[in-house]
Each structure stands twice: as C-alpha cells, then as structure tokens.
C-alpha cells in the first residue's frame, strides 16, 4: 500500500478532523479528509513537492485521478467527467507577467533564462486541457443549477528562476484548498436527500494561464442558455496564521447573493470565524468569466490582498504544511456554502419569499452603470432585482410598481406592471425602469420599488444624486493604488461632454514621463479601452511607453478639450508605485 493511499484512508484519524459546527444530525466538512486530498495532489510518496502547472504532461494523470475521486464522492447519484478544451497558445508564447493571475514584474528572475519550450526543445507539453466536472441532478428539472468550483492547476512563477517545465508547483493553498472543499461538498451533498436544483462541481484547468478553463465553460454555458442560479467559487481558503478569517467577494450585480450567504452564516455563526462581505470587481479567479457573461457569482478567499497576505503565493513553498490550523478555516469555508445550499433547499417547500433591497437597485445614467451623478435631461435606468428565497412562484402574477418619493415623503406612482415570469427557488429577476431626470429632481431623485405577490409586499428605495451643473470631469482614479504591477494598473475617467482628452504623467519634480490623446463621446464606447459605456480605462503601461519608474509618488493630469474649443480644463490625480 502506498504512503499516499495510507494517508487518504486514515484521513481524519491522522490529521484530527476539526469539522465545523452544523445543525444536529447534519454532516459537516471533514478537514482531515480535505488535508489528505491536499497532500495527495501536492506531494509524491516521498513527501517531495510535485507540479500541477497546466502545461505539464503529467497533469493528464492527475486529472484522471481527480475525476475518479469526484466519481467516488458523488457515487451513483450523479456523473463525473473530464471536459477537454484546447490550449489558447503554445507554452513558448505564454508570459507569466501577463497572465491574469501571474502578476510579476517584467524584471523578475523568471525571465533570466530561455524557455526550452520556446526554443523548440523536446520537452513534452499539453495542447489540450481538462476541466473535471461532477454533476448531481436536482428533483425539479429546469429549476437551474449552482456551480461549486475551484481551480486545480498551480504555478510557482513568483519563485526566483522558477522553470515551469522542470520545477514543482505544489499549490497547496492555491488552490488545492478550494479543490478539497469542492470534493468534500460533493461527497456530503450526494449523501443527502436531493436538492430542488442541480449541482455542478467543477475543478478548472488553466486558471493560472488566464482563466482558460472557466472562461471556456462559462461561454459554453451562456451559449447553451444554461440556467445558472449562482457560481460559488473558492480560491485560497486555507492560510491565515493569525485567525480564521474569510471574505466572500461579489460585484454589484451579485450583491444580493453575497448578502444571502453572509446572512446565512450569521444565523448559525461558526466559532472563532471572522467573515465579511466585500464588494469588488476583482476578476482574477474563476468567478470572473461567469460575471462577464451575465451570471451571478461569488468568491470565497482568505484575503483580497493576497500577495501581501500569503508569502507562499505562486511559489514552490506553497506546501501542505502551510495550511493553517489543520485545515480548520478551510472546513469553515466549505461549510458556509453548504449551509447556504441547505437553507435554499429547505425554503423550496415554503411559499415564495421575494426580496428587494437598495443594493439590488442598479442605476445607470446615460448607459454608464453606477459611475456618475445625473443632471437634468439625463436618462436614468434602474435595473431592479427580485430575489426569491422561498418556493417557486410558478408563474403567479407579481405586481411591480415604481414610485417617486417627494421631499415630503409622499409617493407618486410612476409605473406599474404585472410580471408572470416564474422565479424559482434561488432565482433572480431584473425588472428595468427608466425615467428622465428633471430640474425638479436636483438634489436627489428617490425611487421606490414595490413588489406584491398577493400575500406579501416588499419595498426598496434608491436615492440618485442629481446636480444642477456638472464638472467636465465627473470622476477619475488610478486603480489599484498603490501600483505594485505596472501591467495591472489603469486610469479610469468619465466626462460629462464630448471631448478630446490628453493624459500626461509626471514625477514629483514635474518631469514628464508620458502623454497620450484620446477621443471621448458621452454614452458611447470611446476609441481607447472601455470598462463600460461612457467610462474609459487607460492602461498605465500605455502611458509609460515601456518605462519602469522607480518606486515613489507620481501625478497624472487629465485635460479636457470640448468640441469647438481651443482651451481645456484639467484635473490632477496622485498615485504611488511600489515594487
């Protein structure tokens, strides 16, 4: 019997399972088994680190092994499969400084030697990658599915002189911690009564190359019209030397789902766990592609400042021994999603419970989402969300009304309609409403949404700032700030009128470092990189034109030249560069 197999069989007995607390009689994640999974896929029988770098040919055997473990976890209730997809480029052209999760300085030692793959050497590499997928059908066909996911591949590119074709990439925390949690949730949920919705457990390949596996699958799901109720991603949930602390990260359009997860944890809080909800548009994990095609999603992670938080990140020292407190935090992370799915399933037998909230009323002004203050004459659109945390509405009529709230607090009906679209358990429906801002709205235009399903009325309000006049530069910022990697930083700005824009960079002594001109048109995508209609993003590396400034404080100036005018006005911004 191999040492790895012995560890797997002994599992909790060897490591001492510290399963998170759950309701009486309910299974909870077994941290001993999860740690055994991490050791099995990150170290060989002699205890030496192995590699799961996606290009490595041995990844095929590791993914075969993972698929077998997924099948064992699911049992006869579902199916487990390999989902192949092609490489997007040969390894000789892959640059770890540009990989979405690499985040390296171009001067890193990783570039100090040639790559045999690039030189046409005889080292084998994969040109086809494989996601590992397990599926458990629910009791209600067409209900929709939840995707519980992580990534399985790893990288060691922050290790000086790391050679991906030779050196290990054990990736214990990044991201075997998430993979172990996915397998554990599959094992627990397959042994319980079927849920009303389908479950899909996915371990993605090629995440460290730029989210290849999740991007390919998310677009395939969108093309097929897959009814995804939510994506529950876990990426790095095992390391925190100080305390058990986790973040569930979401964006504005998925906030309702993140808030439900936070609320679920608060109902039966796990001991000695700090847990918070963060709103951010970080796209550098496998939830990102699902956001990009319009699906709601969340990411559980140990810290949003991962490079600063975890010294093992993307290095060959990311070993099982660095997992904190025998995997206790990792088990708590899995339990958060487990409790959420159970709560939704329990609610499916009750009456519909339709939720609306201020945070689920998403505002756009002239097509720019959540990015500018309105002025009279602007088109205001509210995408109002309705989240069903109860049983299926089954197409029963739902009355949705929008009111204007005046300064005295009185309601004035603006529009009312009846919605008959079924909203299933865990389902979410957006109802759009539009209105033009007027001079009477200066100060704030407050809109109230009312939802009446015949047995219960829910309301939510959103106050939308309205200015009498507007600066030519509505907003501007550098993100991230401070800048640690030039390739990941950008200046984002928005204007109130059509104009030519000149952006100039300076050091603190006034020396000019770079200058570029752009065209800006309100309500349309400009010629430079756009993050959204009417909002523009200029990459810092584009302005620096190949320069690599020393660490320090820098300035940028945005000058606006409206059509037909020779003189412009300008705003200044400040940012820091750190290495």
What DSSP letter does each residue of 97-166 carry, written as one string? TTSTTT---TTSGGGSS--TTTTT-S----SEEEEEEEEE--SSTTS-EEEEEEE-----TTSTT--TTT
- Over range 506-530, report the average pLDDT: 71
Quick check: 341 and 195 in contact, CB under 8 A?
yes
| 307 and 166 within one domain | yes
Q: Using the 3D structure, point to which of 466, 497, 513 is the last residue of a domain.
A: 466
Residues 454 and 525 both lie in one domain = no
Asked whether residue 443 falls in the same domain as residue 477, the answer is no
Query: What does the pLDDT average to over 219-236?
Result: 97
pLDDT of residue 69: 98
- Residue 3, pLDDT above cutoff 60: no
* Same-domain status, 402 and 505: no
* Residues 220 and 79 both lie in one domain: yes
The pLDDT of residue 143 is 86
What is the Cα–Cα distance from 460 to 441, expressed in whole angstroms?
A: 19
pLDDT at 566: 57
Between vectors from CA 128 to CA 126 and to CA 133, what angle results, nearest 5°? 120
| pLDDT at 524 > cutoff 80 | no
How far is residue 273's CA from residue 231's CA, in Å, rounded to a whole number? Answer: 23
What is the mean pLDDT of the segment spanning 423-428? Answer: 95
Q: Which of 298, 313, 347 is the last residue of a domain?
A: 347
- Flag the least confident range among 89-103, 273-287, 399-413, 449-463: 89-103
Domain that holds residue 524: 473-577
Instruction: Verify that 477 and 462 share a domain, yes or no.
Output: no
29 and 335 Cβ atoms separated by less than 8 Å? yes
Mean pLDDT of the chain: 88
Candidates 7, 103, 220, 421; CA nearest to 202 is: 220
133 or 2, higher pLDDT: 133
Confidence of residue 7 (pLDDT cuts 50, 70, 90): very low
Q: Among 53-67, 269-283, 457-471, whose mean pLDDT is lowest?
A: 457-471
Determine how β-strand 512-520 pairs with β-strand 499-507.
antiparallel
Question: CATH number, domain at 558?
Answer: 2.60.40.2550
pLDDT band at 114 (very low <50, low <70, confident <90, very high): low
Residue-wise pLDDT for 21-62, tens only, equals 555 568 899 999 999 999 999 999 999 999 999 999 999 999
Q: Which has more confidence, 178 or 512?
A: 178
**Confidence at residue 528, expressed as pLDDT on a 0 to 100 scale:** 40
CATH number at residue 312: 3.40.630.10
Q: Are residues 158 and 305 in the same domain?
A: yes
DSSP string spanning 389-453?
-SS--TT--EEEEEEEE-TTS-EEEEEEEEE-S---TT-EEEEEEEEE--GGGSEEEEEEEEEE-
**One domain for residues 445 and 554:** no
What kind and span of H or E run contains 387?
Answer: strand 379-388
Helix (H) or strand (E) holding 537: strand 535-539
Q: Are residues 403 and 477 in the same domain?
A: no
| Domain-ending residue, one of 466, 501, 534 | 466
Lowest mean per-residue pLDDT among 247-256, 303-312, 509-518: 509-518
Between 401 and 530, where is the model more confident? 401
Residues in the chain: 579
Same domain, 483 and 540: yes
CB 533 within 8 Å of CB 522: no
Determine contact, residues 428/385, Cβ cutoff 8 Å: yes
Torsion angles phi and psi, residue 70, rounded to 5: -65, -45
For the segment 44-55, what is each residue's pLDDT rounded down to a tens digit?
999 999 999 999
Q: What is the CATH number of the domain that holds 363?
A: 2.60.40.10
Tokens of 389: 């945390």
pTM (two decimals): 0.80
> Across residues 312-330, what is the average pLDDT?
96
Tell the residue number behind the tokens 């060959």, with chain if given.
316
Whether 367 and 342 share a structural domain: no
Tokens at 1, concatenated? 């019997």
335-363 per-position pLDDT tens digit: 999 999 999 999 999 999 999 999 999 99
56 and 140 assigned to the same domain: yes
The per-residue pLDDT for 560 is 87
Domains contained in the chain, number: 3
CB atoms within 10 A of CB 268: 13
């Amino acid at each position: 019997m191999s040492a790895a197999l012995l560890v797997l069989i002994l599992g909790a007995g060897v490591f001492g399972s510290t399963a998170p607390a759950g309701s009486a009689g309910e299974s909870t994640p077994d941290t001993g088994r999860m740690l055994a999974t991490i050791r099995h896929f990150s170290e060989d029988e002699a205890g030496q680190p192995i590699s799961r770098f996606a290009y490595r040919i041995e990844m095929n055997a590791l993914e075969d092994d993972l698929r077998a473990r997924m099948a064992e976890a699911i049992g006869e209730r579902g199916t487990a499969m390999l989902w192949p997809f092609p490489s997007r480029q040969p390894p000789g052209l892959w640059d770890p400084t540009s990989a979405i999760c690499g985040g390296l300085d171009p001067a890193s030692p990783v570039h100090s030697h040639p790559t045999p793959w690039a030189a046409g050497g005889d080292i084998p590499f994969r040109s086809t990658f494989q996601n590992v997928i397990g599926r458990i059908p629910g009791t209600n066909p067409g209900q929709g599915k939840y995707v519980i996911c992580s990534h399985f591949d790893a990288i060691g590119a922050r290790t000086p002189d790391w050679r991906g074709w030779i050196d290990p990439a054990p990736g214990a925390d990044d991201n075997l911690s998430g993979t172990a949690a996915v397998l554990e949730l599959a094992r627990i949920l397959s042994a319980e009564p079927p849920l009303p919705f389908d479950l899909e457990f996915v371990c993605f390949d090629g995440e460290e190359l730029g989210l290849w596996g999740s991007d390919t699958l998310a677009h395939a799901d969108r093309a097929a019209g897959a009814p995804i109720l939510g994506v529950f991603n876990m990426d790095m949930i095992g390391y925190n030397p100080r305390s058990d602390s986790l973040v569930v990260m979401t964006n504005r359009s998925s906030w309702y789902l993140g808030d439900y997860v936070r609320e679920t944890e608060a109902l039966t809080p796990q001991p000695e766990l700090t847990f918070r909800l963060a709103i951010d548009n970080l796209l550098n994990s496998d939830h990102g592609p699902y956001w990009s095609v319009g699906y709601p999603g969340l990411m559980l992670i140990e810290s949003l400042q991962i490079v600063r938080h975890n010294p093992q990140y993307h290095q060959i020292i990311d070993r099982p021994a660095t997992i904190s407190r025998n995997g206790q935090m990792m088990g708590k992370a899995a339990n958060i999603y487990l409790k959420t799915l159970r709560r939704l399933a329990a609610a499916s037998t009750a009456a519909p419970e339709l939720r609306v909230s201020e945070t689920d009323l998403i505002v756009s002004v002239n097509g720019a989402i959540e990015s500018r203050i309105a002025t009279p004459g602007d088109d205001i659109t509210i995408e109002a969300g309705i989240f069903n945390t109860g049983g299926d509405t089954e197409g029963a009529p739902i009355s949705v009304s929008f009111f204007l709230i005046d300064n005295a607090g009185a309601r004035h009906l603006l529009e009312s309609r009846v919605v008959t679209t079924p909203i299933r358990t865990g389902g979410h429906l957006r109802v759009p409403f539009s209105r033009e801002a007027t001079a009477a709205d200066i100060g704030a235009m407050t809109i109230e949404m009312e939802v009446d399903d015949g047995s219960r009325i829910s309301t939510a309000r959103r106050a939308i700032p309205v200015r009498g006049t507007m600066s030519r530069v509505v907003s501007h910022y550098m993100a991230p700030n401070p800048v640690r990697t030039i390739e990941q930083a950008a200046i984002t700005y928005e204007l109130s009128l059509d104009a030519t824009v000149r952006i100039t960079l300076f050091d603190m002594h006034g020396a000019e470092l770079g200058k570029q001109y752009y065209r800006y048109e309100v309500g349309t995508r400009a010629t430079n990189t756009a993050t959204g209609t009417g909002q523009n993003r200029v990459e810092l590396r584009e302005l620096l034109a190949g320069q690599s400034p020393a660490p320090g404080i820098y300035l940028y100036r945005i000058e606006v030249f409206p059509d037909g005018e020779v003189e412009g006005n300008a705003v200044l911004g400040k940012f820091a560069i750190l290495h």
